[in-house]
Structure formats: structure tokens, C-alpha cells
């Protein structure tokens, strides 16, 4: 973020008042990104209020390093606030987080989907509940450490991918609404690399300057989804059949929750042709496998669409919206056509097949050229 001289009439956050008269709530996870945002804004003279959310069991969190909003991270956020001289608060959002994120995560896995709880956390906890808290505290805007850009457009603020493609978090923020975008700020989105963020942390003397990035979902220790779901839903790991697409029963499994679409390793069905998980039939407790080519999809059903493009979503031109889409967070956007299919629903027509399209994942829409994020939705089983 490059500070704007106030002589332009707007401060560096695009608001029409001097920094000292602008209150900013900064969502602080305790990591280097949000810490740098808070320190940067405090250094520019803004009235910064830091808030960290306690999202899950504090006792369990203390035993796990590198997880968002764990006990250590709350402590680190507080240290940054003390060093930079602004107030810091910890809010207990455990119940909201469990009801809005964790319960749905468990139920989605039980239904054979592959959920992305970080998106729901942004959508339902950080950008809904915490944003309302920011308004209640009289903040003029809320800033986060996400790597994404908010840019002025002819019809209001637009969401754009981060300047650094390696750090871009637009896949996890597709459900940000227009109203939320009016209030949110993302000061790190224009930085060229994470090295710049760490250099700023060192410049401000922050103790978190070399703190490793979090790799896991905060409530899933060591990436063991099945263990978490079994704890949340006792008896969830019911055994069943591993079946080939051609109807042959190839073996047994210890629970559909242990498998994801596209998985090859750990199937336990011996040698022979390479087989992949093609589909999960949770009702029949079956894991359906097949050859790699069976993973390819060209038609993707999408629901709960959040549209950030110009014009009404259902007012698509003949032939649908021309877009680029991401069906997994780790993949680049690919060309597609987006066809509205009623309120909040659409069919995505991929111009080239994509492997491992899985219900429960997000499908995020981008402008066919440039960096603009046009919204997205959730992949659902085809009707």
C-alpha cells in the first residue's frame, strides 16, 4: 500500500479525513501479515484497534504451533499491539465458529463432499460477525492481512487478485459481498512478495518478523481431517466397499471420510492399473474408483453464487458469461463459460476438461483478462 498525501482529499485507505481522525479495526491473527498491517497503519498515524478472535479450544490450541488464533498467536498479536502502542482485544467467538464453520465442515465430509472451511470462516465469522463488531466500535473501516486487492471501479470498489500470484488469496475470499467490500481494506495486496512483508515487519521491529506461515486448517491438527470428524461425530467412520466404476468390488474401506476425490495413494486395493477416487457415495458408504481419465470434467454445477461482476448475474449475454475459473485453490484460472441456471445457481462449461472437480470445493470466477474477481460459488453434485 502506498500512502496517499492527504492533500488529495483522501487518506491512504481512501477515506476523506486525516489518518489521526480515522479509526481502523485490524483483524489480527498473530501472524506476520496482519501484524504488519496493524503496525503499518499505526505508523501512518491511524487510530488502530487490534482484535484477535479466539475461535476454538484454548487449551488444545496451546499445544499446537502454527495454527491461526491459537494461544501463542493471541500472545503474539498482543505483543505487537503493545510495541506499536495501540489497544488490543481478544473476542471469544468459539460458539459462533463451531456453529458457522466446524459443524458444517463435519457434516459436509459425512455427505461425501470436500469442504473449504477457511472460506466459510471469512464469510461468516470475520467478514460478517467481526465486521459488525467493527461498526459497533465506531471504526471507519476494517483491515486484514489478506493478499488481495480492493480497487476503485466505475461502479464502486472491485475485488482483484493480489499483485503476487504466489500469495493471492482470492479463491478464499470469493464470497465477499459488495457491502463488505465497501468497508474492508487489504493493505498487503499490492506487495510484490512475502519478502516485502517480512522486511516491513523487521523495519517495525516486530517479534513475528520470522514467524513461519500457518499451513494447516486451524482446528485440524496435523491435517488429520478424519480424526477431527470422528471426534465431532462419533461413529462417523462406517466401513463400506471400494467399487470400480464398472461395478467390481475391489476392497473395503474404514470410512468415506478418509477419502477425497482425486486421491490415488492409500486406497489399499493392491497393484494393477492406477486407480483414483472418482466419486464418494456417502449414502451407500461406497468409494468409487476408476482410471485417471474418469476424473476429467467439463460441466460443473455451482450453487450459492456471489456475483461481483457488472450487471445482474442472470442477465448474462447469449452464450453465458465469458470468464476464467478456479476449481481448486492451487490451480490457475482456466477459460470457461458461465451459464445462469436460476437464482444463485449456474453451470460452468470448462473449455478444456479439469481433473478432480469435487463437490464442496469452491469455483471462483475471474475476468477473462486482467485481475478482477467476479465472484464464485460452491461446487455441488450435478443434478
Distance from C-alpha of 381 to C-alpha of 294, rounded to nearest angstrom? 15
Cβ-contact 106, 233 below 8 angstroms:
yes
Cell 477419502 belongs to 259
Residue 141 bears catalytic tag: no
121 tagged catalytic: yes
> Which entry of 68, 121, 141, 363 is annotated as an active-site residue?
121
Q: Comparing C-alpha atoms, which of 90, 103, 110, 46 is closest to residue 255?
A: 110
Of these residues, 68, 69, 118, 218, which one is catalytic? Answer: 218
Tell me the catalytic residues: 121, 218
Amino acid at each position: 500500500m502506498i500512502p496517499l498525501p492527504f492533500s488529495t482529499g483522501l487518506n491512504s485507505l481512501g477515506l476523506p479525513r486525516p489518518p489521526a481522525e480515522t479509526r481502523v479495526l485490524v483483524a489480527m491473527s498473530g501472524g506476520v501479515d496482519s501484524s504488519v498491517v496493524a503496525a503499518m497503519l499505526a505508523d501512518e498515524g491511524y487510530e488502530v484497534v487490534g482484535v484477535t478472535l479466539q475461535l476454538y479450544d484454548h487449551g488444545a490450541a496451546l499445544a499446537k504451533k502454527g495454527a491461526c488464533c491459537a494461544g501463542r498467536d493471541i500472545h503474539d498479536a498482543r505483543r505487537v499491539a503493545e510495541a506499536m502502542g495501540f489497544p488490543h482485544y481478544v473476542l471469544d467467538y468459539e460458539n459462533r465458529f463451531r456453529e458457522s464453520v466446524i459443524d458444517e465442515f463435519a457434516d459436509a465430509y459425512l455427505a461425501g463432499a470436500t469442504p473449504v472451511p477457511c472460506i466459510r470462516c471469512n464469510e461468516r465469522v470475520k467478514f460478517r460477525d467481526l465486521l459488525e463488531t467493527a461498526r459497533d466500535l465506531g471504526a471507519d473501516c476494517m483491515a486484514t492481512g489478506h493478499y488481495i486487492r480492493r480497487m476503485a471501479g466505475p461502479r464502486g470498489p472491485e475485488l482483484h487478485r493480489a499483485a503476487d500470484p504466489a500469495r493471492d488469496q482470492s479463491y478464499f475470499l470469493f464470497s465477499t459481498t459488495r457491502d463488505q467490500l465497501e468497508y474492508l481494506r487489504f493493505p498487503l495486496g499490492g506487495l510484490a512478495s512475502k519478502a516485502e512483508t517480512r522486511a516491513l515487519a523487521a523495519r517495525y521491529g516486530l517479534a513475528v518478523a520470522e514467524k513461519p506461515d500457518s499451513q494447516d486448517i486451524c482446528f485440524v491438527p496435523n491435517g488429520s481431517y478424519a480424526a477431527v470428524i470422528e471426534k465431532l461425530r462419533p461413529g462417523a467412520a462406517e466401513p463400506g466397499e471400494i467399487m470400480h466404476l464398472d461395478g467390481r468390488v475391489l476392497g473395503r474401506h474404514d470410512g468415506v471420510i478418509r477419502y477425497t476425490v482425486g486421491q490415488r495413494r492409500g486406497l489399499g486395493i493392491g497393484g494393477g492399473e492406477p486407480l483414483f477416487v472418482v466419486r464418494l457415495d456417502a449414502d451407500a458408504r461406497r468409494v468409487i474408483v476408476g482410471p485417471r481419465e474418469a476424473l476429467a470434467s467439463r460441466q460443473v454445477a455451482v450453487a450459492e453464487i456471489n456475483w461481483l461482476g457488472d450487471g445482474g448475474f442472470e442477465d448474462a449475454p447469449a452464450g453465458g458469461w465469458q470468464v476464467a475459473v478456479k476449481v481448486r485453490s492451487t490451480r490457475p484460472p482456466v477459460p470457461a463459460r458461465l451459464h445462469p441456471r436460476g437464482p444463485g445457481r449456474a453451470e460452468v462449461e470448462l473449455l478444456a476438461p479439469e481433473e478432480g472437480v469435487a463437490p464442496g470445493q469452491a469455483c471462483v470466477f475471474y475476468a477473462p483478462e486482467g485481475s478482477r474477481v467476479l465472484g464464485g460459488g460452491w461446487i455441488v453434485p450435478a443434478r
